[in-house]
Amino acid sequence: MLVLGSFFGLLVIGLPVGFTIGVAGMIGIFSMGPRFMAMAPDRLFAGLDLFPFLAMPFFILAGEIMNRSGITLGLVRLADALVGWMRGGMAHSNMVASVMFAGITGSATADAAAFGNTLVPAMEKAGYTRRFACAVTAAGSIIGPTIPPSTLAIIYGSLMGVSIAGLFAAGILPGLLICAICMLVIALLGKRLNLPKGTQKPSVRSVWAALKDAWLAAILPIFILGSILGGIATPTEAAAIAVFYALVVGGIVYRALSWTDLYEIAVRTTRITGVIFLIIASATILGWWMAFNQIPQAIAEAVLSVSENPTVVISLILGLLLVIGLFMDINATLIILAPVLAPLTLQIGMDPVHAGIMIILALNISLMTPPVGACLFVLASVTKEKVEAITTALWPFILAEFAVLLVVAYWADLTLFIPRLLGL
């Protein structure tokens, strides 16, 4: 009780989540005795001593380079050429561009920051309200950590011993389904909100012209995914190659990077990575205490005592993730709860890859739900729009993406189709 009380108490007073988890974990270790306290530093660093974790800073760095050099603007123009002619065309373009950008960074907040700076002002000028433009951007941003290279998939796969390549492949169809259903929501809202129509008609010539400008950026996600799924490179190796490719294209081909840009990119990447790794290391200590006290087993027994029906158990897991995701950072939630929930999913016969994608997608939705939805606050900071206003416009998309979560959770074949096709 002391550990849980200190954990929630520190969260309430606003201590950063990494420190909150670390303090709560150390209180738990202290109660286990001096021998365990002596082992705590070793466990702290052991939690980070996983080779696949190196992929995260590399993917973050590649996305920062491509965003700073303006390469990603070519993806936006390509998306606009494909779907910009429709009613609500720029909103549709935002969604399609999110899919393309997701294949580079795997980060929702990077997507929200990039498009909050570029697409939201452009949508305002075209006649969209700022709150709607922000809502569309927030809804599309969670495609980032769903479609490969997803940073959450790297964390989950590394911690739980699940194939990262399999998780990457399994995230493709759910990510595309999120894009499709959000575009359906935009189409349904088009007439009611009187969304602007695109000014140009679709043509092969316009698409070809946009593709010629964007092909250097467009082939990177294909290369990353193809090299990993084809067994040519590990996720870490593919991430390092992506950084090299982004530096060559941004710095040499487009000549859009200065030494100042590279310094600022490195600082930002270091900050983002440092926050994530602090959470992982701290959660390792808390997880160690939980395992020692057999808390995961107790939770599993409590859930199964309610019902052993897989449908009911999955519903309870989703409810737990969605509620906790309202109040906690998703990386911390994943690291703490994955060792608890993964064995539970195995007991009801779920495939480990299917269970992983379900857990990841449930946590992704919490990125755009108050009170601590990270994408909401990124967009509010970038665009100066109020979080409450963004949330009001976002609810149709949240409900639509919740429907996708239910489909993913209860239809395993959708998630596992591509992994099975590739033999993963």
Q: The pTM is what?
A: 0.82
pLDDT band at 371 (very low <50, low <70, confident <90, very high): low
What mean pLDDT value characterizes the chain?
81
| Domain extent listing, the chain | 47-421
pLDDT at 397: 93
Q: Which pLDDT tens digit goes with each residue over 334-355?
A: 888 888 888 888 888 899 999 9
The answer on pLDDT for 51 being more than 70 is no
* 88, burial (CB in 10 Å: exposed 0-12, middle 13-18, buried 19+): buried
Residues 6+ apart with CB under 8 A from 92: 79, 83, 84, 86, 183, 186, 187
pLDDT band at 290 (very low <50, low <70, confident <90, very high): confident
Residues 6+ apart with CB under 8 A from 395: none
pLDDT at 185: 93
Which is more confidently placed, 85 or 392? 392
Among the residue ranges 46-50, 69-73, 396-400, the one predicted with the least confidence is 46-50
pLDDT band at 199 (very low <50, low <70, confident <90, very high): low
Among the residue ranges 141-145, 268-272, 298-302, 339-343, the one predicted with the least confidence is 298-302
Residues 6+ apart with CB under 8 A from 52: 154, 157, 158, 164, 234, 235, 236
373 Rama sector, left if φ>0, alpha if ψ -120 to 50, beta otherwise: beta
What sign does the CA torsion over 295, 372, 46, 169 have? positive
pLDDT band at 180 (very low <50, low <70, confident <90, very high): very high
Q: Which pLDDT tens digit goes with each residue over 213-236?
A: 777 777 777 777 778 777 788 778
Give the pLDDT mean for 65-87. Answer: 76
pLDDT at 398: 92
What sign does the CA torsion over 209, 210, 211, 215 have? positive
d(CA 274, CA 267): 10
Q: Could you give the angle at the alpha carbon of 171 between the alpha carbons of 84 and 226, nearest 5°?
A: 85
d(CA 121, CA 111): 15
In order of 28, 368, 391, the CA distances from 68 in angstroms are 43, 24, 28
Q: Which pLDDT tens digit goes with each residue over 326-335?
A: 777 777 788 8
Contact (Cβ atoms closer than 8 angstroms) between residue 30 and residue 24: no
pLDDT band at 191 (very low <50, low <70, confident <90, very high): confident
pLDDT band at 404 (very low <50, low <70, confident <90, very high): very high
Output the CA torsion 31→33→35→39 (10° steps).
0
pLDDT at 301: 73
